[in-house]
């Protein structure tokens, strides 16, 4: 059976995908193809390149990676992704979709056309970085003459590239909506409103997954709080580990 895996965006919550992947591996689930957005694009890229979930976790939360994400303001007043791309290039020097061990698709948003753009061939890391360009924080990435921002703006659960190509699709959604505390300022209201809008574009796509993994504990984590990466990883792992898999996956 060919199994496709779709990985949502969700900021720091995307680390939960690694826990989910680790649990799926322990259950002997073999992934045949991946589609990922934003944080899911990064996780999907590293996993498709052959790195284990534990190793990817070490890379994502390493001091070098976090240092690369510190503000390096451009003339537009936004953080540039160039340093982050350079870090990942050390781990994926071939920088090519074709050299991955598992077929991968990532999506970004064409800022001017207002369309979702999918990438599955050619240069790898620039589209992956574009998929993560949260508007208002990161400077858009220009790739092949197209200005790109975060793929989650239009499609945070990019299942479309997997439909019709795989026998069974597993969805890992790390962005369950829920407000644990009353927002007290505009600085907290705006990000929550953005994630609410992003969640809304995922609803129909979540329903298309044959099996959905959505750890409810992730509601208690801020999408921008990388400091709780260990707890987020455990939330994904422990939830997925306790799930009873459908008969189609274990037969």
* pLDDT bracket for residue 136 (50, 70, 90): confident
List CB contacts of 25: < 8 A, sequence separation 6 or more.
Answer: 52, 53
Cα(192)–Cα(33) distance, integer angstroms: 31
Q: Are 74 and 80 in contact (CB under 8 A)?
A: yes
pLDDT in tens, 29-54: 999 999 999 999 999 999 999 999 99
What's the pLDDT at 81? 82
Give the active site residue among 8, 35, 150, 229.
150
Q: How far is CA 168 from the centre of its chain?
A: 20
38 catalytic? Reply is yes
What is the model's pLDDT at position 19?
Answer: 98
What average pLDDT does the segment 176-199 reach?
Answer: 63
- How far apart CA 35 and CA 52 sit, in angstroms, is 17
Q: What is the DSSP letter of 156?
A: S
- Residue 148: helix, strand or coil by DSSP? strand
Average pLDDT for the chain: 89
Q: What's the pLDDT at 222? A: 84
Please give the residue that has the higher pLDDT: either 16 or 198: 16
How many percent of the chain have pLDDT more than 90?
Answer: 68
Q: What pLDDT shows up at residue 165? A: 97
CATH classification of the domain holding 120:
3.40.1090.10
Using DSSP's 3-state secondary structure scheme, residue 118 falls into strand
Domains identified in the chain, total number: 1
Q: Which of 38, 131, 202, 229 is catalytic?
A: 38
Rounded Cα gap, residues 37 and 118, in angstroms: 10
- 165: which residues sit within 8 A by CB, 6+ positions away? 2, 4, 33
**pLDDT (0 to 100) of residue 63:** 57
Q: pLDDT digit string (tens) for 188-203?
A: 566 566 666 777 788 8
User: Which range among 113-127, 173-187, 223-237 shows the weakest confidence by mean pLDDT?
Assistant: 173-187
Domain that holds residue 99: 3-249
Q: What pTM was computed for the model?
A: 0.91
DSSP 73-109: B-TTSSB-SHHHHHHHHHH-TT-BGGGSSS-EEEEEE
Q: Which residues of 165-204 are buried (b: 16+ CB within 10 A; e: fewer)?
A: ebebbbbbbbbbeeeeeeeeeeeeeebeebbeebbeebee
Looking at per-residue pLDDT, the higher value among 228 and 193 belongs to 228
pLDDT at site 199: 73
């Amino acid at each position: 059976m060919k199994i496709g895996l779709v990985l949502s965006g969700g900021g720091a919550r995307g680390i939960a995908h690694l826990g989910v992947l680790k649990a799926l591996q322990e259950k002997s689930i073999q992934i045949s193809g991946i589609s990922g957005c934003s944080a899911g694009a990064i996780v999907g890229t590293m996993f498709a390149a052959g790195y284990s979930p534990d190793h990817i976790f070490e890379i994502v939360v390493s001091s070098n990676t976090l240092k690369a994400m510190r503000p390096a303001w451009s003339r537009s007043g936004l953080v540039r992704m160039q340093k982050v791309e350079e870090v990942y290039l050390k781990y994926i020097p071939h920088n090519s979709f074709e050299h991955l061990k598992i077929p991968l698709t990532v999506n970004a948003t064409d800022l001017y056309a207002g369309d979702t753009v999918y990438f599955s061939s050619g240069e790898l890391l620039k589209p992956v970085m574009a998929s993560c360009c949260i508007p208002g924080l990161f400077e858009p990435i220009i790739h092949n003459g197209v200005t790109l921002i975060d793929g989650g703006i239009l499609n945070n659960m990019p299942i479309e590239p997997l439909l019709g190509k795989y026998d069974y699709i597993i969805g890992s959604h790390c962005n369950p909506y829920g407000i644990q505390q009353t927002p007290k300022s505009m600085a907290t209201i705006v990000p929550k409103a953005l994630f609410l809008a992003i969640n809304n574009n995922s609803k129909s796509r979540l329903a298309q997954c044959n099996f959905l993994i959505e750890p409810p504990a992730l509601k208690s984590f801020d999408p921008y709080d990388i400091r709780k990466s260990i707890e987020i990883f455990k939330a994904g792992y422990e939830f997925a580990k306790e799930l009873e898999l459908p008969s189609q996956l274990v037969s």
